[in-house]
Structure 1
Amino acid sequence: MKVPLSWVREYVDLPAAAAHEVAERLTAAGLKLESIESFGYDITNVVVGRVLTVEELSEFKKPIRYCSVEVGEAEPRWVICGATNFVPGDVVPVALPGATLPGGFAVGSRKTYGRISDGMICSARELGIGEDHSGILILPADTPIGADVVELLGLRDDVLELEVTPDRGYALSVRGVARELATSYGVPWRDPADVEIPATAEESYPASIADPTGCDRFVLRRVDGFDPKRPTPMWMQVRLTRAGVRPVSLAVDVTNYVMIELGQPLHAFDWSRLSGPITVRRARTGEKLETIDHVVRVLDEGDILITDESGPISLAATMGGVDTEISDVSTELVIEAAHFSATAVARMSRRHGLVSEASRRFERGVDRELPPIASWRAVRLLAELGDAVVVPGVTDVSASAPPTVITMPADHPDRVAGVAYGRETVVRRLADVGCAVSGEDVLTVTPPTWRPDLTDPNDLAEEVIRLEGYDRIPSVLPHAPAGAGLTEPQRLRRRIGRALAGAGYSEVLAYPFVGERDLDALQLPADDPRRVAVRLLNPLSEDEPFLRTSLLPGLLKTLVRNVGRGFHDVALFETGLVYRPRPGAPERAPILSVDRGPTPEEVASVDAALPDQPFRVAVVLCGEAERSGWWGSGRQVSWSDAVEAARIVAREAGVELEVRADEHAPWHPGRCAALYRGDVLVGHAGELHPRVVEAYGLPPRTCAMELEPERLGARAEGVAQAPRVSPYPVAIQDVALVVPAETPVAAVAAALAEGAGELLESVRLFDVYTGEQVGEGNKSLAYTVRFRALDRTLTAEEITAARDGAIARAAELTGARLRGA
């Protein structure tokens, strides 16, 4: 809503405050300021002139006219002009040499087209009045010559653009903003709706309401003898333009002017094109209406229509029809003002994709008492400005609408805000809003008709609080309740994030929605459980309508974006929830009532419909794991780096992972590791399948890992255990074992650790060999085995016994034999 301050000042005696100060008052009252725009302050030395003579310069291909103009000086001035919409005798605005126009455009005396142009005749656009630059602005013939155009037309003004929330429909009018400012400054105001309307029992035009749920008041007035050729006065054009409305014609401009001034939308019908009585009703199946934008609209049974005997003639509260619209020859007009259902108008506007200035106001709530006042104001302006004659009588059809009455404890605003306002302040502020208040400890409040949003005690408390000032509410920090701090799962999640970040991974928050294309790109089989996903009823994008069942799609797309921007060595991780529907669960959760708390059965029904939401951690990495440099070549990432990321996570949980070969999409069948904690599968890691790499556009040999930390099990005693460090020397033994090629490396290491006993400190693989020396179908695994005791230096006999025990256990469990034996 754009509000010219000069218009507001007509109805409220504001102090000589700058526009930004006024805006601050409105912001404090709950009306959000979008912008402040100033007009006319940069216009100087533009006066009123009368065209005396016009000389056509025929030697040029386009129209060029050399005009003498009287500007109130001793001698007329000669001006070059290319417009052709004026004749000698017309009164026009003239920018004299030394003048400035909007945008800092300077006007001087210069030679052009072989003549000296001593100034400039201005169009409306050149004066900052709208966008019309098709011709020169013609002023009324009785405008005083030599007068300052800026002062005469009121071009200097400040316009506040406000964002009006749905519960502040009254602020979509100069009247509503003026009332708020009067309350804020504590000064009187003059209500433009406070007018005397002559009483009459005559009907101006027959009308009826068939459906009171859609329209509960319908008012019609008539004027005859209207002169459609009369131009809209310049002061009205300026105000409409400043308010963001394009001037069209006098009749249309009057209806728009009253709408902006009072907040009541109006519509003008051509009386000669109406057929019989008007009825306001709902649409019928199969009905159509061509609106004034020349679109034929198929109507819905919920649409509110204004009809006559010929059928629909207007889409109520939204847009009129072409069959009864006024034209440049209409002399008999019927002015309609009504009160329509806000909900019905909002649905109708969205159904047809048609948002108008009228619908914006009706769907936010319009004062039910305004239609007779606004229609009277409109016909009086048409009579005053367009030589119309107001036809006696008024049609005012209305359905009963009992007033809203709210009971509220007088201290309710105090308890809501935590501020002691007192009963007198509460009553005074509610009276400022326009409420009728009675009662002592319990107040009985009747809100005004222009505030349909006030329906319960909390609404009234909000009015008291905002008018007293939100800045008066003290800031009180809440007391933190006693507690045990973070839970162990929460601490584990934080440790995992810190550990991965310390290992060189960057954390990201990827988009949590996926589509069928993402699941196909992962090469998931048709029966894969990850293809069963929760579909959103109203997704942000139809291409991604599912909640994710894996963290990988979002991470892979983030990796692609980074690589596409020149980052080729990337390691990313994410922690978050995935959503896995339960077998047999209902497709939708039930919608519970909000007038009470849910029953245990209702809570259970909601829980049954919710998907499982396990917490996952995933990593993706590509490029070099160890960077190249002057020290030599680097090392490309491999499946082992993804497995190591899983081990980093497991160490933070205080457990060891068992790694087994597996085949599981989206990983490469020969480079995929299944991660186990005992017999529990916790996740997978390895190199992605080449088809997945190609589908996502990833770099070759991209690797990934995903696991569920909750499956790792709890850390012993729930706290981190620091390892005991022995002060005695370590004994190091290298063991080379030959095993069948398909034997997992981890199985051999586990067997060595089991056989070595309590003296073992660590087992580390440092070499894998395949070749003729170990035989076909075999491989050689070389391990470094470290032994150490906590209380003594180990003897040679103890070291040998531990080494032999480890080898023997490996031979027993995996068939290993010492290389060279």
Structure 2
Amino acid sequence: MKFSENWLRQHVRIDADRERLAAALTAIGLEVEEVAELGGTLDGVTVARIVECAKHPEADRLQVCQVDTGRERLQIVCGAPNARPGLVAPLATIGAQVGALTIKAAKLRGVESHGMLCSAKELGLDEDASGLLELPDDAPIGTPLAEYLGLPDARFELKLTPNRADCFSVRGIAYDVAAALGAQVEPLDVAPVAARSSAALPVELHAGADAPRYCGRVIEGVDAGVPTPVWMAERLRRAGVRPVSFLVDVTQYVMLELGQPMHAFDRDALRGPVGVRRARDGETLTLLDGREVALDGEFLVITDAERAVALAGVMGGFDTRVTGATRNVFLESAHFAPSAIIGRARRLGMHTDASHRFERGVDPELPRLALEYATRLILDQAGGTPGPVVEAALPEHLPRRACVRLRRARLARVLGLTIGDDEVERILRALGFEVSADAEGWSVRAPTRRFDVAIEEDLIEEIARIHGYDAVPATLPQGTVPLRVASETRVDEDELRRHLAARDFLEAVNFAFVDAALLEAWDASAQAVPLANPLSAELAVMRTRLLPGLVAALARNVARQQTRVRLFELGRVFAAGADGEAPRETPRVAAVACGQADAEQWGLPARAVGFHDLKGDLDSLAALCGATLEYRPATPAWAHPGRAAEVLREGRAIGFIAELHPRLLRRLDLDHAVVAFELDLEPLLSRPLPRARAGSKYPSVRRDLAFVVAETVPWSALEATIRAAAGPSLRDLVLFDRYQGKGVETGFRSLATGLILQEESRTLTDRDVDTAVAAVMSALEREHGARIRS
């Protein structure tokens, strides 16, 4: 936000000099990025008129001008393309200082020149160096330029945070300055302009809460060709806005001073009532800049009886623009909800001052005041006959000012110091708040322009920033800090991170936003949560799984010649809630690996990482929480058939482990096999309370059992059968051999297991052991068709 210092001082009378003003603005959160002094060294620069122009005899691009200074006529050699008889422009006389140049009498190509006609850039007033600074024809010749232009002045540029939409106007900034420097904002005297004709256009609202207020007024017989007054044009320039034409400049001026974007239509180009509605799919509109844009139902448009005539909150239409030939004007001033405007200009590759303000929030009570103010400015300069103000409003959709409680004790506790009641009330009233004191504190109503004040902490922040953060004492904490003992029934997430890092994985942190096409490639787009205002198409939806982003990170590493990549991530995934509920968040842990199973070395033969390598990593992770994981064959869409399993803990499915499907690898442009797992995190964080138990003093007995079983029967099912059949005497079960080949028919495999049996109260007999082994073999044969290997 750029503004003129002199303009600000008209709204708030302060004694502070420029340096103190800049320091105060930064201290209260309105960071000053630049202060540019304007017109500080214009002594000797006056308003002058070019009387005659003749071509320079020795130079095609130079002219010899006769210039009237009001006291004498001087000969000036000038190369500006807009130099012409009758032009009023600044003249730097001999001895004047213009930037680093001291003006002296000189000869240019043999012709004497007694001064210099100046551009705005040469005077340090603007960046325009295309020609002489053109002044109005009625500018008083001979008057010092600084006096005529209201100089010296300074251009301030603020870096505003998005929550301070109220400071996108000079008057909004004035309230903060008044509070910080102990002043009061000058009253704004905008008396309603009485209607002198019945000319009016009906106004209709068809967009509900998106456009709850719209004001319009017809002004007939306007002289649109009048020049913009110098004081207005200069304030616009110093705010970074180039004057265009009087009617356009008035709307810009009101927006900068009050904060309300406005638009002026050519009344004669409008047909029928004016309304606000959602655009129709495929509807087109030619904007002021000449571009034709295609719209859809996400956009708001201003319409007449036949068509869309403006893009609401963004830019007016080309066909209904005001020109020098305009005689009848329709002024509009409206309130649009930020949610209806935000992102719309960016979708069209645009950024306008109006959209910048409406996206952040504009005072809903400002449209009528701004309309009256703009009407008065137009009548004073361009004449005309005003009609009545026509207003359409939906009060139920207009923002309401809430009453916020500010407790004296809470204020002192949060800030760590006591601020007097008088100072608290002074600050709040200077900011435009309504304050009512009571025994415990205050009841406060924020002005309608302050969208950012809704809770008690907002008011505390207002008091703190105006009172001064440097006034908050540095106080050491007192009292004892309670110690929290970590629960033995829960594993800390950092412990999981350290464990995976110790197993040679690197932690990755990916965006929670992903490309919708990436989720579709993984068959994971169901219940995806789209973002209302994504930063880009590649970050358009919330992730439903960790693996798509993690494998994408692996692919980027592989593309950069990393042959062995092992990554893990702990993060949240998101799924759309039912019936308008908030999205569900689920913590997950995932890991991916590709390349060699072991880091490059000479002691072991090289081999590619496989399913069981990653399964070993997962089992070791589960051991942290004392869990025994079960694996059940499964084939999710992204997994390689026959090389995938569902992971269960205590019978509950918590995720998958698998090698990625070759089709998916091709789509992701990966040439290496990739193994991965993704599990719900919560089941891995809970563990049973450890309990000490004395070991049995009786010996254990081991019996090895080899049997043949169909290779389609998973070991997990065999293990469950053995444990159930062996009974409570079984202490451990070891699978120590697996064989397929000669002596074992095709489609079967031989498994050798060790059953370790032990009792707590006695020594097992041979009969006890034989009974247990027989029960195991009987159960294996009955349930899985297994037979003892001969």
What TM-score, normalized to structure 1? 0.67
Give the 3-state SS of the residue equivalent to 1:246 in structure 2. coil
2:225 maps to which of 203, 206, 228: 228
1:588 aligns with 2:578: yes
Supply the distance in 1 between the matched residues of 2:106 and 2:768 (Cα, whole angstroms). 108
Give the 3-state SS of the residue equivalent to 1:135 in structure 2. coil
Identity %: 26
1:237 maps to which of 230, 233, 239: 233
Tell me the amino acid that sits aligned with residue 156 of structure 2.
Answer: V
Supply the distance in 2 between the matched residues of 1:457 and 1:724 (Cα, whole angstroms). 61
Residue matched to 1:378: 377
Give the 3-state SS of the residue equivalent to 1:687 in structure 2. strand
Instruction: Answer whether contact 1:342 1:364 (CA < 8 A) is retained.
Output: no
Residue matched to 1:700: 672
> CA offset at residue 641 of structure 1?
0.9
> CA offset at residue 185 of structure 1?
0.8
2:134 maps to which of 138, 149, 164: 138
Supply the distance in 1 between the matched residues of 2:479 and 2:310 (Cα, whole angstroms). 59
Residue matched to 2:199: 206
Cα distance 1:319–1:679, how it changes in 2: closer, same or farther (>3 A)? closer
Instruction: Answer whether contact 1:269 1:324 (CA < 8 A) is retained.
Output: yes
1:719 aligns with 2:690: yes
Cα distance 1:809–1:661, how it changes in 2: closer, same or farther (>3 A)? farther
Cα distance 1:641–1:220, how it changes in 2: closer, same or farther (>3 A)? same
1:627 maps to which of 579, 599, 615: 599
Give the 3-state SS of the residue equivalent to 2:597 in structure 1. strand
> CA offset at residue 648 of structure 1?
0.8
Cα distance 1:157–1:314, how it changes in 2: closer, same or farther (>3 A)? same
Residue matched to 1:561: 556
Supply the distance in 2 between the matched residues of 1:416 and 1:368 (Cα, whole angstroms). 37
Supply the distance in 1 between the matched residues of 2:285 and 2:516 (Cα, whole angstroms). 41
Aligned CA-pair RMSD: 6.7
Cα distance 1:507–1:119, how it changes in 2: closer, same or farther (>3 A)? farther
> CA offset at residue 81 of structure 1?
2.5
> CA offset at residue 245 of structure 1?
1.6
Give the 3-state SS of the residue equivalent to 1:554 in structure 2. helix
1:64 maps to which of 55, 58, 61: 61
Give the 3-state SS of the residue equivalent to 2:491 in structure 1. helix
Mean CA deviation greater in 461-470 or 157-166: 461-470
Cα distance 1:781–1:538, how it changes in 2: closer, same or farther (>3 A)? same
Supply the distance in 2 between the matched residues of 1:502 and 1:720 (Cα, whole angstroms). 27
Supply the distance in 2 between the matched residues of 1:776 and 1:450 (Cα, whole angstroms). 82
Instruction: List per-residue Cα deviations over 1:3-39 (Å, max 9, x = no partner).
Output: 22232123434344445x535534555x643733525
> CA offset at residue 100 of structure 1?
7.4
Count of residues in Structure 1 that have an aligned counterpart in Structure 2 = 755
1:9 aligns with 2:26: no
> CA offset at residue 674 of structure 1?
5.8
Instruction: Answer whether contact 2:301 2:311 (CA < 8 A) is retained.
Output: yes
Supply the distance in 2 between the matched residues of 1:341 and 1:632 (Cα, whole angstroms). 73
Instruction: Answer whether contact 2:446 2:453 (CA < 8 A) is retained.
Output: no
Q: Trace 1:366-765 onto structure 2 (pairs within 5 A).
A: 366-367=365-366, 370-371=369-370, 374-375=373-374, 377-379=376-378, 382=381, 390=383, 395=388, 412-414=406-408, 417-418=411-412, 424-425=422-423, 428-429=426-427, 431-434=429-432, 465=463, 469=467, 471=469, 490-491=490-491, 493-512=493-512, 518=518, 521-522=521-522, 533=527, 536=530, 538=532, 540=534, 550-576=545-571, 588-590=578-580, 616-629=588-601, 634-657=606-629, 666-672=638-644, 684-708=656-680, 715-716=687-688, 718-719=689-690, 742=711, 765=736
Instruction: Answer whether contact 1:258 1:377 (CA < 8 A) is retained.
Output: no
Supply the distance in 2 between the matched residues of 1:38 and 1:412 (Cα, whole angstroms). 40
Instruction: List per-residue Cα deviations over 1:65-104 (Å, max 9, x = no partner).
Output: 2546879999978757362543597644569999776xx9
Q: Trace 1:155-166 onto structure 2 (pairs within 5 A).
A: 157-163=154-160
1:252 aligns with 2:251: no
> CA offset at residue 203 of structure 1?
1.4
Residue matched to 1:599: none
> CA offset at residue 647 of structure 1?
1.3
Instruction: List per-residue Cα deviations over 1:227-266 (Å, max 9, x = no partner).
Output: 8264653x54332122122211244334433442344556
Instruction: Answer whether contact 1:624 1:635 (CA < 8 A) is retained.
Output: yes
Instruction: Answer whether contact 1:129 1:238 (CA < 8 A) is retained.
Output: no
> CA offset at residue 422 of structure 1?
6.5
Residue matched to 1:36: 34
Cα distance 1:203–1:500, how it changes in 2: closer, same or farther (>3 A)? same
- Unmatched 5+ residue regions in structure 1? 383-387, 525-529, 582-586, 592-605, 791-797
> CA offset at residue 159 of structure 1?
1.4
Give the 3-state SS of the residue equivalent to 1:491 in structure 2. coil
Supply the distance in 2 between the matched residues of 1:677 and 1:344 (Cα, whole angstroms). 48
Supply the distance in 1 between the matched residues of 2:338 and 2:101 (Cα, whole angstroms). 49
Instruction: Answer whether contact 1:405 1:447 (CA < 8 A) is retained.
Output: no
Instruction: Answer whether contact 2:31 2:158 (CA < 8 A) is retained.
Output: yes
Residue matched to 1:602: none
Cα distance 1:417–1:85, how it changes in 2: closer, same or farther (>3 A)? same
Instruction: Answer whether contact 1:738 1:781 (CA < 8 A) is retained.
Output: yes
Instruction: List per-residue Cα deviations over 1:627-658 (Å, max 9, x = no partner).
Output: 22466764432222111112112211224446
Instruction: Answer whether contact 1:41 1:156 (CA < 8 A) is retained.
Output: yes
Instruction: Answer whether contact 1:221 1:375 (CA < 8 A) is retained.
Output: no
Mean CA deviation greater in 637-646 or 547-556: 547-556
Cα distance 1:817–1:757, how it changes in 2: closer, same or farther (>3 A)? farther
Tell me the amino acid that sits aligned with residue 572 of structure 1.
Answer: L
> CA offset at residue 378 of structure 1?
0.7
Give the 3-state SS of the residue equivalent to 2:579 in structure 1. coil
> CA offset at residue 121 of structure 1?
5.6
Instruction: Answer whether contact 1:26 1:32 (CA < 8 A) is retained.
Output: yes
Give the 3-state SS of the residue equivalent to 1:643 in structure 2. helix
Cα distance 1:701–1:425, how it changes in 2: closer, same or farther (>3 A)? closer
Cα distance 1:760–1:802, how it changes in 2: closer, same or farther (>3 A)? farther
Instruction: Answer whether contact 1:269 1:325 (CA < 8 A) is retained.
Output: yes
Residue matched to 1:182: 178
Instruction: List per-residue Cα deviations over 1:391-449 (Å, max 9, x = no partner).
Output: 6887456799999999979x844255346667655654454345677787699999798
Instruction: Answer whether contact 2:74 2:114 (CA < 8 A) is retained.
Output: no
Cα distance 1:751–1:238, how it changes in 2: closer, same or farther (>3 A)? same
Supply the distance in 1 between the matched residues of 2:518 and 2:343 (Cα, whole angstroms). 37
Instruction: Answer whether contact 1:214 1:281 (CA < 8 A) is retained.
Output: no
Cα distance 1:69–1:723, how it changes in 2: closer, same or farther (>3 A)? farther
Residue matched to 1:364: 363
Mean CA deviation greater in 114-123 or 633-642: 114-123
Give the 3-state SS of the residue equivalent to 1:558 in structure 2. helix
Supply the distance in 2 between the matched residues of 1:149 and 1:721 (Cα, whole angstroms). 91
Instruction: Answer whether contact 2:270 2:320 (CA < 8 A) is retained.
Output: no
> CA offset at residue 473 of structure 1?
7.3
Residue matched to 1:598: none
Supply the distance in 2 between the matched residues of 1:539 and 1:317 (Cα, whole angstroms). 17
Instruction: List per-residue Cα deviations over 1:673-714 (Å, max 9, x = no partner).
Output: 565667666655453333333232234232223445666897
Instruction: Answer whether contact 1:168 1:364 (CA < 8 A) is retained.
Output: no
Tell me the amino acid that sits aligned with residue 617 of structure 1.
Answer: V
> CA offset at residue 659 of structure 1?
5.9
- Unmatched 5+ residue regions in structure 2? 206-210, 781-785
